Structure 1
Amino acid sequence: MQLKQLLTEDRAVSPVIGVILMVAITVILAAVIGTFVLGLGDQVSESAPQASFSFDFSSGGTNADVFDGEPGDNVTITHEGGETLEASNIGVEGSISSGGVTGGVANGNWPTTIEAGSSSEWEGVDAGETIRVIWTNPAGGATNTIAKATAPQ
């Protein structure tokens, strides 16, 4: 074959390229539609927020300890950085380690919008109790622990 004949060739491969493009577009559309039909699209867009919290434990709370009637300790939870959160989606729970009982931590209050520097004090924390900051998906569904700390013994 001569170089001149190669450059003046009239035939093309457009039908093959056209078929390949049509198959690729069909596969991509099927994947996108399948994702939303199966409900996976909602889960992808609603992941837990990224936020950092610090826990400052102190003694002398006013609530009675569940087991011995003594006043519990306090914990101040401070939003150190990350995404701004809505207080309606945030909860704080404690698990009382000495009895294995899951209980709430009383009297905490967050501002309506929790941003860096916002803090809330919670009372009735037992020594060794694990305190968790829990985010609840506003679209309904899963909860995620976004921070946790254990009270000193």
Structure 2
Amino acid sequence: MNFNQLLTDDRAVSPVIGVILMVAITVILAAVIGTFVLGLGDQVSDSAPQASFSFDFADGGDGFGGNANDVVNITHEGGETIENSTLSVSGDGTNSLSYVANDSNWGDDDVVSAGDRISFEKVNSGETIRVVWTNPNGGSTNTIARATAPQ
């Protein structure tokens, strides 16, 4: 038996690899074309950003109950940077939240990134505060963080 010839015989390798590559290319092309034909391609990049926010509620006196000095500080702890124009903060209380400009650096450079903070006064006891992201391409909204004020 000639071992040299046995180790150098590779006649069947080339056609098998060629068939596997052709099948793989066909499957990938079908998946990409199918995604865009069905309209799913537009939705791939429209998911809400992944970011972490912390909420710090401070009592302004007379117990936490919605007076002008009850404050919530919202801090971007980490994750993706987000365009300031796509974020909003809302509460479900009877008072409208009042932005505290001198205690906020949220979006100073048009993006909200780790360490940026925003503050609001007039937070009611038990009120749920939400950070809402609005998709700039379609107007859909996602709540990306929420917290409830202490009772």
Amino acid at match of 1:123: E
Matches within 5 A, 1:1-153: 21-60=21-60, 71-72=67-68, 73-96=70-93, 105-108=96-99, 110-111=106-107, 112-153=110-151
One-letter amino acid matched to 2:42 = D
Report deviation, 1:129.
0.7
Q: 2 CA distance for matches of 1:145 and 1:94?
A: 12
Unaligned runs of 5+ in 2: none
How much has 1:51 moved relative to structure 2? 1.3
1:99 match: none
Letter matched to residue 67 of structure 2? P
**Letter of the aligned partner of 1:143 in structure 2?**
T
Is there any run of 5+ residues in structure 1 with no aligned partner, and where?
Answer: 97-102
Q: Tell me the CA shift for residue 59 of structure 1.
A: 2.9
CA 21–128 in structure 1, closer or farther in 2 if over 3 Å, else same: same
1:104–1:33 distance in 2 versus 1, CA, 3 Å: farther
RMSD of aligned residue pairs (Cα, Å): 3.2
Q: CA offset at residue 16 of structure 1? A: 7.8
Is the CA contact 2:91–2:97 (under 8 Å) kept in the aligned structure 1? Answer: no
The number of equivalent residue pairs is 138
Instruction: Report how far residue 57 of structure 1 moved.
Output: 1.0
CA distance in 1, matches of 2:29, 2:83: 36
Secondary structure of 1:126's aligned partner? coil
